[in-house]
Amino acid sequence: MTGFTVIGGYASEDLAKRIAKRLGAKYIKTDLRTFPDGESKVTIRGNLKGIPIIVQSTASPVDSNLIQALSLISKAKKRSAQVYAIIPYMGYAKQDKEFLPGEIVTISVVADLFKAAGATRLIVIDIHSLIGLNYFKMPKKNVSAVPLLANYFKKIKLNYPLIVSPDLFWAKKATEFANILGAKSIALNKQRNRMTGKLVIKSSRPKIIKGQDVILLDDMVSSGGSIIKAIQFLKRKNFGKIYVACTHAVLSGDAERKLKKAGVFKIISTNAVCGKTNKVDVSGIIAEAIKNWQSSKDI
């Protein structure tokens, strides 16, 4: 079997170490120096052997983490014909279409940069847009953390849980989550004004059993606006506990405070984005995806 060396970017050091342990691979740390003007200087502290695996989420600060990921990939490509890019959270995935005239499809630019830097394979976790993923012209895998999140909630004592997707985008994922718990799910019809950014929910209000626990499921939570709108729409007063389950807890600014104020009891996220709400480890599903590639004929 081909050997790997896992290189952890500054944004994903702990996850990279966990992946290396699961693969029985060597782990190499990186040093990051940020200059007064904001430039990043990344240094790999170790010798590369075998196929390099770069692990770096591109959450906030998105541009800095993206440049660091590309820099690591570029350096690794000088030592190896193959470079695995593990980007658990892929920034710019929302910008997958020209919604308004003149808008740039930024994820297509990001995809070109990964190709140019030397990435030969890509793994992401619950990317926001599969359309965006198609811009990456290399073998790629989008791995879902939903079963892991659902299994975490199986350990929690819940009262007739209702799984809610704040929009139709994750309706199937909400159903999948609910099936694991033996619960019911609904998806709200959320619409956003492209000019103003204002959110409107156009759905019939479901009947909530008094004291019923609600789990709001989404791929990512950034400002928390969609979650808060969903809570307001469902009429918070009828709920038991309100949970938020997400793969990527970006939680920009004071999003966590706003969510708690809106009635959220607890936020449960994966370590695809490093943060204090991390309860679910995705290193296993990433390692499994790598092993599946390693054993396939196209390696």
Long-range pairs of 43-49 with CB within 8 A, sequence gap ≥ 24: 44/7, 44/72, 44/75, 44/76, 46/5, 48/5, 48/7, 48/76, 48/79, 48/80, 49/3, 49/5
C-beta separation of 106 from 68 below 8 A: no
128/252 same-domain check: no
140/79 same-domain check: yes
pLDDT score recorded for residue 1 = 40
> What is the domain extent for residue 191?
146-280
pLDDT score recorded for residue 210 = 84
137/208 same-domain check: no
248/132 same-domain check: no
Counting the structural domains of the chain, the total is: 2
Name which of 2, 173, 165 is nearest 84 in CA terms.
2
30/176 same-domain check: no
160/276 same-domain check: yes
pLDDT score recorded for residue 204 = 63
**Is residue 190 among the annotated active site residues?**
yes
Q: Could you list the mean pLDDT of each consecutive 10-residue stretch along the chain, which spans 299 residues?
A: 86 97 96 92 89 96 96 96 97 92 96 98 96 96 98 96 92 96 90 66 73 95 92 83 97 96 96 97 98 70
* CATH code where residue 72 lies: 3.40.50.2020
Chain segment 106-154, per-residue pLDDT in tens: 999 999 999 999 999 999 999 999 999 999 999 999 999 999 999 999 9
The pTM assigned to this predicted structure is 0.92
137/220 same-domain check: no
Strand 162-165 to 184-187 pairing: parallel
Residue corresponding to tokens 């998806």: 187
174/227 same-domain check: yes
Catalytic residue among 75, 77, 190, 229: 190
